Structure 1
């Protein structure tokens, strides 16, 4: 309460032409960066308060885009398996049916497989 009274006293003693034009020039608008899941809040959302002192860190190299750069593996078998790499660095083995034409992606890592025709 004391600070409110003090502020009013200061404004009261300013010359009339200056006292009428005093306004707050403080803004708390923070621009939000979109994440790989498309999460983006409005600039006046209270959840952006955590990014007032430090910027929101979003990796621009999304895994979806990096996997899309890898060309699909051509296979001759009807059923292939994917384990995501070597042993502990990969994922559980998944069997993928590649009978239908087109790319077939692994559900864990996104690697794509395509059946190569024998003809």
Structure 2
């Protein structure tokens, strides 16, 4: 009888210690993992906007546009003024003219592509 009571107490003790672990695991299993975006956006754990990610994964594209644009080398141009239309067509942007008189890279305000004047004199 004493051995049975000891086993029962041990089982109950183990169960009491296991229940918080199970509850803790169940509590965190549905909660979304907060992934930081390229702008540094990261919500607090109790933010109501996280409700949209219950049972779903928050998807953040790891290929940020600014990094992809930085991989494109600056275009060497011989004229003083160039234009950029983002590739034209429906995926482009309005045509903007960029003055290359000053030395260094000059980027498009819409898409970030960079241009520089190839020769150093006018």
**TM-score normalised according to structure 2 size:** 0.71
Deviation per residue, 1:38-84 (Å, 9 max, x gap): 21112232221221200001111111111110100011111111111
Q: CA RMSD in A?
A: 2.4
Matches within 5 A, 1:73-84: 73-84=75-86
Unpaired segments ≥5 residues, structure 2: 1-7
The aligned residue for residue 103 of structure 1 is 105
After TM superposition, which residue ranges in structure 1, 4 or more long, deviate above 6 angstroms?
none
- Contact 1:102–1:114 under 8 Å retained in 2: yes
Instruction: Tell me whether 1:49 sits opposite 2:83 in the alignment.
Output: no
**TM-score normalised according to structure 1 size:** 0.73
> Whose helix proportion is higher, 1 or 2?
2
The number of residues matched between the two structures is: 105
CA positional deviation for 1:16: 8.2
